[in-house]
Amino acid sequence: MRKIIIGLAVMAAAVATTAVPAAGAATPVQGVWRNPKNTVHVKLQPCGPTMCGTVVWAAPKAQAKARAAGNTLIGTQLFREFKPAGPNQWKGRVFVPDMNRTFSGTITAAGPTRVVGRGCLIGGFFCKEQTWVKIS
């Protein structure tokens, strides 16, 4: 479950790399993305002046890990308050359901169908990076 959480943190970091669109405009990171093991799908979209990402699908094992920590995975907003932080880069907060904690993260667009998320657990240490693939 920690791998999923760290992966989500990494993806959240990736979402932080694209500016929030003007009303009616879309960004390259909007859509549904899957983690490297295809165990979690997250829909990234504008949430007011920021971007957010909500779990729309999760494998049974991922759901069980979140439940063991007292959380529901599907419908949970994992990526929160992502704001532009540079060209193709966003910064925000990532909620890790199996740890029941929120961490900072960044997301960098790596082309039209890939984002690289990076998240660190404690003060810039214990960092992980993952490439997420767009599925819609």
| All domains of the chain in start order, with CATH | 2-20+28-134 (2.40.128.520)
Q: What is the pLDDT of residue 125?
A: 76
pLDDT value at 114 more than 90: yes
Output 56 or 22, whichever has higher pLDDT. Answer: 56
Q: For residues 107 and 91, what is the distance between their CA atoms, to the nearest angstrom?
A: 7
Q: For residue 27, what pLDDT band results from cuts at 50, 70 and 90?
A: low
- Residues of the chain with pLDDT > 70: what percent? 79
Residue 16 has pLDDT above 80, yes or no: no
* pLDDT at residue 4 is higher than 60: no
Average pLDDT score, the chain: 82
* Closest-CA residue to 50 (of 14, 21, 73, 24): 21
